[in-house]
């Protein structure tokens, strides 16, 4: 039946006034989506729904789920997956790659600098108090040399596109960025569900991520260890990202350990095995600094390993990411990244920041306070969509609450104009009006590995705000994801 | 292998075996009750011993006043507050498996996960009400398939041996309890030992161990108490008989340590080997002389000693208390905050 094909949904599809990833105008498809469109045109609605159910079941039975919080039934849900992929042409990706590489180089030079000479502070490129007052600045590590001089080994940088389609950097995650397992599993699911679609597109593969990650971890092993033992340190199965920890450990063929599996003796780290203690050389830790070592950071932490920081200081064990990288995640520091790029690399930033106002600067603050109803306000050290005000959607009471927060602690807040993120056609259940395919706002989190060389996973995680009109893509706030295709030249 | 991983594999295996045995006991006894006149007294006499043999008497009576078919079956099948219900066993098996996803094959994980999703689903209740026989059969087959998948897809290395160890220890324990149920079931007044009702009850014991066919072949049809006991205790090749289970348990222990079977290198091996030797050289007459119930009781205590020794040698790790709340609230850049359910992993010492 003609009226039953997906094509008819695309016929009704409205890009509206946003930057749409697939269409320039109603019915006008972008060239790199042409093949995709024609493939979907041959498919019935029924077949599409069947494929969708197939993908969902496969996620559920494989246990690719996250725990639903505040639910004592222990309910687990799958991360909503949208079957319409996001496609990035080769030249566009090359541009992103150059920009991301430039950025991670600058961030690493910055981290080295602030834990050593502090040139950037002495030359007043960044006001010193911003760095020294940062919540995640670890002054205990002043003068410490990290293995191979790399601080952020694994980075997830969030990108968005504005109404003209320009890519902008929204934030850098230089501590324990999560989500990469969804990139890999989404691809597996798509190949299972749409085998023929891949044959017609030259999509760059993502399967070597785990191998690259393992190479990186081996590369940073303490000197002279030829065949280092690498482990992944997880907070445990109740952590929302546990599936990912387990997935990555399995893909690399390394042990996944909890803090209680490790013990430090004479500044050496060991894991407890059925055959006694076995030395550990490199730890990919998915535990924040604060919980890593109760002797150094939070004394009440029982997730960490007493003495591990001392072992790290003595160069007996390597950690990825290094301790103290959180300062680069600080949203106030984000403001200064373009200056870092100019200062350390003598280059102009390839990927611009979103226009940002610092409420600790008097001029910016008065602008922020006068325009709260038009801005997004963010706390400097929160993530996951928490501690945030979207002024255009907020009530007067919420705005007043943030006004007080900002005035009480200006260092802790920044503000940005509301960016109407680009949209991508996404399948919508029970669509009373507008059809089953509607535009939904998306972002992109590429994953950057910094080892012997810098490798960037082609594509990354495209997150989708599944609610109509919503700009919040975080999984904790009802976001979903899409497979992301980077095309070969 | 990590001590914690060994512990998780061991308990995963025990819980699956426990779920399977619970399902069989319930199924057999439901069938059995169809053969009797359902006076209140017979019903109570029948179901109460089952609860007793599972050592859940106290917990059961917190929820239910009377041990009738419905309450016992509900308690042993779906009751989430019963840590050894089929529901809880499958949840805990799956939780242990989740902690060692990298040790087991994807096929094992997906199968166990599906079984877990099934028991939590509305479909499980629906099937149970439509035909409890079909429901229990589904659980039994789920367990059999898991054992088969484990054999066919996992390297038969150290981790696999811990799975065998857990399976045979749990199975020996369950068989001994099933046999013990008969001790607790009183014959209705007027019935004599060796009479019709007595025979039917002994047949139920055999069926609860999937042993009726094997027994009948060996003893050509005669159902006699001492022969049933002899078969379930002394047979060395029937997979659920105590002696067979202890042989396999002993072999698993020695495979783990790499020490030959004629000596011991640790306390678990010493206890296992001693029990094995005794089973090899005991006559059923001696068991009855000591008293079947007393013998089985002592047997269960010795299994528990082997369990404790194994845990101490291979799995000693600090208790997981407190850890859970922090592991949930760890932030993950751009991820989310968590507070979840509370179920402890692993070490239920029974």
What is chain B's Cα-based Rg?
Answer: 21
Confidence of residue A4 (pLDDT cuts 50, 70, 90): very low
Domain borders along chain A are: 223-316, 357-417
* pLDDT-derived band at A71, boundaries 50, 70, 90: low
| CATH (one of 3.30.565.10, 3.40.50.11290, 3.40.190.10, 3.40.50.300) for A223-316 | 3.40.50.11290
Task: Calculate mean pLDDT across residues B6-20.
Answer: 97
Interface membership of A430 toward B (CB under 8 Å): no
Q: Which of residues 153-182 of B touch A (CB under 8 A)?
A: 158
Question: ipTM of the predicted structure?
Answer: 0.82
Task: Provide the mean pLDDT of chain B.
Answer: 86
| Structure confidence at residue A430 as a pLDDT band (50, 70, 90) | low
In this predicted model, what pLDDT tens digit does every residue of B76-106 receive, in sequence order? Answer: 999 999 999 999 999 999 999 999 999 999 9
Residues 27-66 of A with CB under 8 A from B: 60-63, 66
Residue A194: count of CB within 10 angstroms of its CB: 20
Of B117, B316, B327, the CB nearest to A303: B327
pLDDT at B343: 31
The answer to whether B326 contacts A383, with C-beta atoms less than 8 Å apart, is no
Q: What is the mean predicted confidence (pLDDT) over B31-45? A: 72
Report the gap between the CA of A224 and the closest CA in chain B (Å): 25
pLDDT, mean of residues A82-109: 97
What residue has token string 């079956």? B73
Contacts of A448 (CB under 8 A, 6+ apart): A100, A101, A104, A154, A155, A156, A157, A454, A455, A456, A457
The answer to whether B318 contacts A260, with C-beta atoms less than 8 Å apart, is yes
What does the pLDDT look like over B253-273, one tens digit per residue? Answer: 999 999 999 999 999 999 999
- The residues in A 173-232 lying below 8 A from B, measured between CB atoms, are 173-179
Phi, psi for A353 (deg, rounded to 5) = -75, 165
By mean pLDDT, which of A118-122, A268-272, A281-285, B327-331 is the weakest?
Answer: B327-331
C-alpha A48, offset from chain centre: 29
Of A69, A274, A275, the CB nearest to B338: A69
Chain A residues lying within 8 Å of B90, measured CB to CB: none
E-only strand ranges, A326-467: 357-358, 375-379, 388-390, 413-417, 423-427, 437-445, 447-450, 454-456, 461-465
pLDDT confidence of B337, banded at 50, 70, 90? very low
Least confident of A10-14, A45-49, B259-263, B280-284: A10-14
Check A63 against B109: CB less than 8 A apart: yes
* Contact assignment for B331 to A384 by CB distance below 8 Å: yes
Interface test mutation site (partner B, options A136, A178, A237, A249, max chain B beta carbons within 10 A): A237
B333 touches chain A (CB under 8 A): yes
Per the DSSP assignment, residues forming a β-bridge with A231 are A255, A283
Distance from the Cα of residue B287 to its chain's centroid: 23
Q: Which of A65, A100, A301, A84 is nearest to A181 (CA)?
A: A65
- Supply the pTM of this predicted model: 0.87
In the predicted model, what is the mean pLDDT of residues B103-132?
Answer: 95
- Candidates B347, B253, B303; CA nearest to B4 is B347
> ∠ at Cα B342 (B1, A385), nearest 5°?
95
- B97 Cα to chain A: minimum distance (Å): 10
What does the domain layout of chain B look like in residue ranges? 1-153, 156-315
pLDDT of residue A383: 64
Residue A352 has pLDDT above 50, yes or no: yes
End-to-end CA distance of chain A: 37
Three-state SS annotation for B277-346: HHHHCCCHHHHHHHCHHHHHHHHHHHHHHHHHHHHHHHCCCCCCCCHHHHHHHCCCCCCCCCCCCCCCCC
Confidence check: pLDDT of B346 > 60: no
Does B343 contact chain A (CB < 8 Å)?
yes
Residues 6+ apart with CB under 8 A from A37: A10, A22, A29
Q: Which of A48-57, A150-159, A465-474, B245-254 has the lowest mean pLDDT?
A: A465-474
The answer to whether the Cβ–Cβ distance between A237 and B335 falls below 8 Å is no
CB contact under 8 A, A67 and B256: no
Closest to B171 measured CA to CA, from B10, B6, B18 = B18
Residues in chain A within 8 Å Cβ distance of B326: 235, 291, 301-303
Residue B269 to residue A239: CA distance in whole angstroms: 37
Predicted confidence (pLDDT) at residue A89 exceeds the cutoff of 70: yes
Residue A474 neighbours by CB under 8 Å, 6+ apart: A384, A385, A463, B334, B336
Q: What residues of A are in contact with residue B114 (Cβ under 8 Å)? A: 61
Query: What average pLDDT does this structure show over A404-424?
Result: 92
Least confident segment among A5-9, A375-379, B9-13, B210-214:
A5-9
Task: Write out residues 302-341 of A within 8 Å (CB-CB) of B.
Answer: 302-303, 329
Residue B98: its pLDDT value, please? 93
Q: Is the pLDDT score of A429 beyond 90?
A: no
Alpha-carbon span A45 to A34, nearest angstrom: 19
Number of CB pairs < 8 Å for A and B?
163
Of A60, A240, A273, the CB nearest to B2: A273
Write out residues 287-316 of B within 8 Å (CB-CB) of A.
314-316
CA distances from A485 to A33, A49, A378, A446, A475 (A): 11, 22, 31, 12, 21
Q: Which of A246, A273, A476 sits opposite B1 (nearest CB)?
A: A273
With an 8 Å Cβ cutoff, are A69 and B333 in contact?
A: no
Task: Supply angle C-alpha B105, B111, B117, rounded to 5.
Answer: 135
What residues in A contact B2, CB-CB < 8 Å?
Answer: 255, 257, 261, 271-274
For chain A, counts of helices (H) and of strands (E): 16, 24
Q: Are B124 and B135 in contact (CB under 8 A)?
A: yes
Q: How far is A236 from chain B (nearest CA, A)?
A: 6
In this predicted model, what pLDDT tens digit does every residue of B203-219 receive, in sequence order?
888 998 999 999 988 98
Q: How confident is the model at residue B29 (pLDDT cuts 50, 70, 90)?
A: confident
The answer to whether the peptide bond before residue A321 is cis (omega within 30 degrees of 0) is: yes
- Which of A239, A246, A270, A472 is the best mutation test for B, with the most CBs of B within 10 A? A239
C-alpha span between B67 and A105 (Å, rounded)? 71
Nearest alpha-carbon partner for B204 in B240, B235, B178: B178
Query: Is residue B321 packed enough to be buried (19+ CB in 10 Å), middle (13-18) or exposed (0-12)?
Result: exposed
What gap in Å lies between CA B269 and CA A188, rounded to an integer?
45
Q: Give the model's pLDDT for residue B339.
A: 29
Confidence of residue A240 (pLDDT cuts 50, 70, 90): confident
Closest CA to A114 of A396, A328, A360, A419: A328
Q: Which residue of A has its CA nearest to B333?
A: A177
pLDDT tens readout for residues A24-39: 998 899 999 999 998 8
Q: What is the pLDDT of residue A310?
A: 95
CA distances A444 to A329, A383, A397, Å, are 17, 16, 32
Percent of chain B residues topping a pLDDT of 90: 62
Architecture per CATH, A357-417: 2-Layer Sandwich (3.30)
State the pLDDT at residue B53: 78
């Amino acid at each position: 039946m003609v009226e039953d094909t997906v094509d008819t949904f695309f016929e009704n599809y409205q890009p509206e006034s946003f930057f749409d990833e697939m269409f320039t105008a109603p019915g006008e498809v972008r060239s790199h989506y042409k093949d995709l469109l024609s493939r979907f045109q041959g498919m019935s609605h029924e077949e599409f729904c069947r494929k969708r159910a197939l993908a969902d079941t496969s996620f559920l039975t494989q246990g690719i789920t996250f725990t639903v919080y505040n639910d004592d039934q222990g309910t687990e849900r799958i991360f909503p997956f949208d079957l319409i992929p996001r496609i990035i042409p080769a030249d566009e990706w090359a541009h992103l790659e150059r920009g991301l590489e430039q950025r991670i180089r600058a961030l690493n030079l910055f981290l080295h600098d602030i834990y050593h000479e502090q040139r950037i502070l002495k030359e007043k490129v960044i006001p010193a108090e911003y760095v020294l007052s940062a919540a995640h600045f670890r002054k205990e590590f002043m003068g410490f040399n990290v293995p191979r001089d790399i601080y952020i080994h694994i980075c997830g940088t969030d990108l968005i596109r504005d109404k003209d389609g320009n890519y902008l950097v929204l934030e850098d995650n230089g501590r324990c960025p999560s989500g990469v397992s969804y990139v890999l599993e989404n691809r597996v699911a798509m190949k299972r569900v749409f085998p023929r679609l891949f044959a017609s597109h030259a999509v760059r593969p993502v399967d070597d991520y785990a191998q690259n990650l393992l190479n990186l971890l081996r590369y940073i092993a303490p000197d002279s260890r030829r065949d280092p033992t690498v482990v992944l340190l997880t907070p445990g199965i109740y952590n929302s990202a546990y599936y990912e920890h387990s997935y990555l450990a399995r893909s690399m063929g390394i042990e996944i350990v909890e803090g209680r599996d490790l013990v430090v003796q004479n500044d050496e780290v060991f894991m407890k095995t059925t055959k006694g203690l076995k030395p550990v050389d490199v730890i990919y830790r998915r535990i924040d600094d604060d919980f890593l070592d109760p002797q150094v950071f939070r004394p009440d932490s029982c997730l960490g390993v007493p003495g591990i920081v001392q072992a790290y200081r003595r160069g007996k064990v390597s950690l990825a990411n290094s301790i103290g990288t959180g300062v680069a995640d600080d949203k106030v520091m984000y403001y200064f990244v373009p200056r870092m790029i100019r200062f350390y690399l003598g280059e102009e930033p390839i990927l611009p920041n979103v226009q940002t106002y610092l409420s600790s600067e008097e001029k910016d603050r008065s602008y922020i306070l006068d325009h709260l109803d038009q801005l997004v306000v963010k706390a400097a050290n929160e993530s996951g969509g928490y501690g945030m005000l979207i002024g255009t959607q907020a009530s007067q009471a919420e705005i007043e609450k943030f006004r007080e927060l900002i005035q009480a602690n200006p260092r802790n807040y920044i503000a940005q104009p509301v960016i109407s993120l680009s949209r991508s056609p996404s399948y919508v259940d029970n669509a009373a009006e507008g059809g089953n395919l509607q535009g939904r706002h998306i972002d992109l989190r590429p994953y950057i590995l910094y080892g012997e060389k810098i490798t960037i996973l082609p594509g990354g995680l495209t997150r989708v705000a599944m609610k109509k009109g919503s700009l919040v893509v975080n999984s904790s706030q009802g976001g979903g994801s899409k497979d992301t295709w980077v095309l070969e030249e | 292998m990590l001590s914690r991983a060994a512990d998780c594999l061991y308990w995963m295996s025990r819980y699956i075996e426990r779920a399977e045995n619970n399902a069989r006991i319930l199924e057999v006894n439901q069938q059995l009750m169809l053969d009797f006149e359902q006076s209140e007294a017979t019903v109570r006499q029948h179901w109460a011993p089952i609860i007793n043999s599972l050592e859940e008497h106290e917990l059961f009576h917190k929820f239910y006043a009377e041990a009738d078919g419905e309450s016992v079956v509900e308690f042993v099948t779906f009751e989430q507050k019963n840590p050894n219900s089929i529901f809880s066993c499958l949840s805990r098996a799956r939780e242990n498996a989740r902690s060692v996803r990298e040790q087991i094959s994807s096929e094992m994980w997906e199968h166990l996960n599906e079984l877990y999703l099934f028991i939590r689903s509305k479909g499980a209740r629906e099937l149970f009400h439509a035909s409890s026989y079909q429901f229990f059969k589904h659980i039994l087959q789920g367990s059999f398939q898991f054992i088969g998948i484990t054999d066919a897809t996992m390297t038969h290395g150290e981790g696999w041996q811990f799975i065998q160890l857990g399976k045979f220890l749990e199975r020996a324990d369950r068989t001994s309890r099933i046999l013990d149920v008969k001790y607790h079931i009183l014959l209705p007044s007027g019935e004599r030992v060796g009479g019709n009702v007595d025979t039917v009850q002994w047949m139920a014991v055999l069926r609860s161990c999937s042993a009726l066919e094997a027994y009948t072949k060996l003893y050509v049809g005669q159902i006699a108490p001492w022969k049933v006991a002899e078969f379930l205790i002394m047979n060395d090749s029937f997979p659920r008989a105590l002696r067979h289970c202890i042989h396999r348990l002993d072999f698993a222990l020695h495979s783990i340590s790499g020490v030959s079977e004629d000596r011991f290198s640790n306390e678990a091996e010493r206890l296992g080997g001693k029990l094995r030797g005794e089973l090899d050289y005991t006559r059923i007459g001696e068991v009855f002389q000591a008293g079947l119930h007393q013998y089985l009781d002592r047997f269960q205590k010795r299994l528990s000693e082997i369990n404790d020794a194994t845990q101490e040698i291979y799995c000693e790790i600090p208790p997981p208390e407190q850890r859970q709340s922090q592991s949930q609230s760890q932030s993950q850049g751009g991820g989310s905050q968590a507070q979840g359910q509370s179920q402890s992993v692993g070490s239920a010492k029974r």
